[in-house]
Amino acid sequence: MRLDFTKMHGAGNDFVVIDATRRPFDLSPQQLRALGDRRFGVGCDQILVVEPALSGDAADFRYRIFNGADGSEVEQCGNGSRCFLRYVIDKGLTTQPRVRVRTVNALLELVLAEDGRVRVDMGPPRLDPASLPFDPQGLAPDARGFWPLTLADGVAVQAALVSMGNPHAVLLVDDVDAAPVALLGPQVQALSRFSQGVNVGFLQIQARDRARIRVYERGAGETLACGTGTCAAVVAGIRAGLLDAAVEVQARGGQLRIEWDGQGSVFMTGPASTVFEGSIEL
Ligand SMILES: N[C@@H](CCC[C@H](N)C(=O)O)C(=O)O
């Protein structure tokens, strides 16, 4: 079948976006992997499928998210949600600057700011192990909320565990550039305690309102930015008493602003850009 698509990115986290609002369809895992392949397909970190809302739902749209490397469906994608809003506005699928979208497990509210960035109400974080899910047997978090994890080669790390609808483990590092992301990311992911896998964030705190981040994503490897990973990392930093309620976070592909009052929703503000459009035979 021939498929029209739009290539987008949010802070360097890149997406193939597909309009399924007029014609519902399912892509097989093989087709999703073909789209995500950077050599034999279009290439992207995630594939976003925009669908109409179910009748009677409070949402304006639904959208589904798939990791491009393995075709797995996931619950949330922060950078993708900003691209979703840009997409439905640019394609004339809505005339509203404020839109609600249903994901697998949440209802997000997004608004286009005057400067062209998108602000997303990402909902509240969840901190209970069951929400990731994470098997805590025999472990307890320290006073700052970090859990002691022992990796396969015996290396011990401390990770804050946060669900933003999808699972995140956050490690504090002194320097993200020097952090062994490609080594530790897969090792943390390999822990059987994370039965649904986990995204692994490496957070460098520079000041109470400024940080840097790298994320080794589930189903994608290291990406240039991860919206939910950045939200999770800032939540972990605020809970540990290291960050204030509003933080500018620099990822390798761009900057995100994250706000959290310690109780309610996490708000994420950042860019969303279209790169090109095309069609591909799958
Ligand atoms: N890049 C995303 C997260 C995409 C999903 C993630 N890889 C997972 O498997 O949970 C973001 O911006 O949040």
The finding on whether 235 has its CB within 6 A of some atom of ligand 1 is no
In this predicted model, what pLDDT tens digit does every residue of 23-60 receive, in sequence order? 887 899 999 999 999 999 999 999 999 999 999 999 99
In the chain, ranges of CATH 3.10.310.10 domains: 2-122+271-281, 129-264
Residue 114 confidence (pLDDT): 94
Measured CA angle at 200 (ends 197, 204), to 5 deg: 170
Active site residues: 77, 226
For 2-122+271-281, CATH number out of 3.40.50.970, 3.30.70.3270, 3.40.630.30, 3.10.310.10 equals 3.10.310.10
The finding on whether 78 has its CB within 6 A of some atom of ligand 1 is yes
> pLDDT tier at 89 (50, 70, 90 boundaries)?
very high
Ligand 1 centre to CA of 143 (Å) is 28
Say what the pTM is. Answer: 0.98
Residue 121 confidence (pLDDT): 98
In this predicted model, what pLDDT tens digit does every residue of 187-206 receive, in sequence order? 999 999 999 999 999 999 99
> pLDDT tier at 270 (50, 70, 90 boundaries)?
very high
The finding on whether 11 has its CB within 6 A of some atom of ligand 1 is no
Ligand 1 centre to CA of 198 (Å) is 10
Pairwise CA distance, residues 146 & 55, whole Å:
42
The interface pTM score, or ipTM, of the predicted complex is 0.99
What CATH number labels 129-264?
A: 3.10.310.10
